[in-house]
Copies of this chain bind each other. A is one copy, B any other.
Amino acid sequence: MSTLCVPSQVPSVAEDCEQLHKAFSGWGTNEDLIISILGHRNVAQRKLIRQVYGETYGQDLLKALDRELTNDFERIVLLWTLDPPERDAYLANEATKRWTSSNQVLVEIACTRSPKELLLARDAYHARFKRSLEEDVAYHTSGDFRKLLVPLVSSYRYGGDDVNLTFAKSEAKLLHEKISEKDYSCDDIIRILATRSKAQINATLNQYKNEFGNDINKDLKADPKDEFLAILRATVKCLVNPEKYFEKVIRLSINRRGTDEGALTRVVATRAEVDMKIIKDEYQRRNSVPLDRAIAKDTTGDYEKMLLTLIGHGET
């Protein structure tokens, strides 16, 4: 379900590195050449390119890109080139430092990645920041948000499909009780969302709908302006319906006065190789416009080219 297009004949890593080095040399930078290489290599290939580039030219490829590129184009190329766990660590660190109660990036990273991927991101966080992710989240957040976010980023959920239907029933009831009492930040809601496996949560929320008639997220919308409720809804969506969550992030990033490039860049860079095909379908269904057309309308230049490349524009 990746939208990345890797040519059937990929040049050798040494050639790729040489071409990239050429793209940085002389007057100006050859952005098209950079896109044509990095925009068409998968995660293992990019990792190898970065390694061989460093060995050949004595400089980290990311440093070179950072020096040559600017603005949104720079950001998407850098994020894309980073290894996924490092990228998540970087995004999570940025989110903790600039944290506000409307920032949902931590929820996104904690809940849309697989348990193993989240763990690798926590490993990368140790290596890069010499602290743990949960340590920084706990330090920079407070109150109910901290109560939810720390267990979410610390979770190492069971990743299998085994589901306990007795728990699903009893916990659907428990969730409904607590939501009816508007006790949204209670221990039980947080415990269930932060520790149960995704399969188990899905079963519980299906029970919820069967038993009480509404999607839980509908019941979590009592006050549309309440930011804690918003983050709870994001948590639920990221856990059981990540593609819909990402479609909405893209939709909101485009459908506003001035594009939110930060969000658009993040979603494209992190999902292109994962589930961007489904997100694109979801986008078209919800907006009646293909995602590539919406992006082309809202962005320009090399940034636009890189986004379209990563979402597989013009490929069949």
Contact = CB atoms under 8 A, between A and B. Distances in A.
B119 A156 contact: yes
Contacts of A162: 130
B156 A132 contact: yes
A158 interface: yes
Interface in A163-185: none
A135 B134 CA distance: 17
Interface in A101-146: 119, 122, 126, 130-135, 138-139, 142, 146
Given A150-B151, A151-B134, A196-B135, A126 B158 contact: yes
A99 to B, nearest CB: 15
A156 B131 contact: no
A130 B155 contact: no
Given A138-B195, A187-B146, A132 B155 contact: yes
Interface string A223-258: 000000000000000000000000000000000000
A159 interface: yes
A126 B159 CA distance: 8
* Residue among A151, A160, A191, A194 with max Cβ neighbours from chain B (10 Å): A191
A197 interface: yes
A29 interface: no
Given A133-B156, A146-B187, A150-B151, 5 more contacts: A126-B156, A126-B158, A130-B162, A134-B195, A138-B195
A195 B126 contact: no
Given A132-B155, A155-B154, A160 B195 contact: no
A21 interface: no
B158 A130 contact: yes
A157 interface: yes
Contact of A135 (B119, B139, B142, B157): B157
Among A159, A160, A195, max chain B CB count under 10 A is at: A195
A160 B126 CA distance: 8
Given A119-B119, A150-B151, A195 B156 contact: no
A195 B158 contact: no
Nearest to A139: B191
